[in-house]
Amino acid sequence: MIKIYHNPRCSKSRQGVALLENSGKEFKIVKYLDAVPSEKELTEIIKLLNISPIELVRKSEKIWKENYKGKELSDSEIIKAMIQNPKLIERPIIINKNKAVIGRPTENISTII
C-alpha cells in the first residue's frame, strides 16, 4: 500500500494527498508530526529515497537555523535532529513498495504510483 508522510498545514503535502485521492489508489496517511518516525524507520525512508540525511532536512526552518546550521553533524546526528524536531523533515514523502519520493514538486508523486 502507498504511504504518505503528511503535514496537513503544508500546501504541498495537501496537494500530494489530493493527487493520491484522485489516483483512485489505496493509500495510508501518516501525520508524521503526531506519529514521529523512529530512528530505524527514518533511516529506511532515507535509503528508499536514495539520498543522504541532510537532503531530507528543511534548512529554512527556524529550528535548523538556530540549532544546527553551520555545525559539522554526522548522518546519525542529523537523523536524531529530525526525530527530535519532526518539523525539519521535508514533506510530503510518498512510499510505494520499495520506492520513495519527496513530493516537491507534486509531479514527483506520479513517478511511483
Task: Give the catalytic positions in this structure.
Answer: 10
Packing angle of the helix pair 75-84, 39-49 (nearest 10 deg): 120
Query: How large is the C-alpha radius of gyration of the chain?
Result: 14
| Nearest in space to 86 (alpha carbons), one of 14, 32, 11, 6 | 32
Q: What is the DSSP letter of 113?
A: -
φ/ψ of 91, rounded to 5, equals: -145, 160
Q: Are 69 and 62 in contact (CB under 8 A)?
A: no
